[in-house]
């Protein structure tokens, strides 16, 4: 098996790899994303109460920033489409959970 880079997007810091196993004739495609800067940014905004206050006041509340690899993981592993309007309440429950609170850019909770 040899993992090969197919594509790299410097804007999103996302890499797509292929891995072909000649013995089993299996091809695996994986996506990896360097999300450290996104999570650092989220944490900084969580600690900026003025950012949240201004957003709510202007009716443009920035609630979360979700890396593409997380959106893809949810879709593939759970069948959960974060962009489906019918999933809005479920998305807020997910973002407010301890497991995914690091995706939020606020400490407030929207239900």
pLDDT in tens, 47-95: 999 999 998 898 888 999 999 999 999 999 999 999 999 999 999 999 9
Residue 16 in 3-state DSSP?
strand
Task: Compute the chain's Rg from CA coordinates.
Answer: 17
Q: How many CB atoms lie within 10 A of CB 79?
A: 7
pLDDT at 1: 61
Q: How many CB atoms lie within 10 A of CB 53?
A: 13
Query: What global pTM score does this model have?
Result: 0.82
């Amino acid at each position: 098996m040899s993992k090969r880079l197919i594509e790299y997007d410097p804007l999103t810091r996302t890499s797509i790899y292929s891995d072909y196993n000649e013995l089993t004739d299996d091809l695996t495609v994986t996506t990896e994303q360097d999300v450290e800067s996104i999570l650092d940014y989220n944490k900084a905004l969580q600690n900026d109460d003025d950012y949240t206050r201004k957003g709510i006041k202007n009716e443009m509340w920035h609630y979360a920033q979700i890396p593409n690899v997380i959106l893809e993981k949810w879709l593939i592993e759970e069948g959960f489409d974060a962009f489906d309007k019918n999933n809005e309440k479920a998305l807020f429950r997910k973002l407010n959970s301890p497991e995914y609170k690091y995706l939020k850019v606020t400490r407030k909770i929207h239900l």
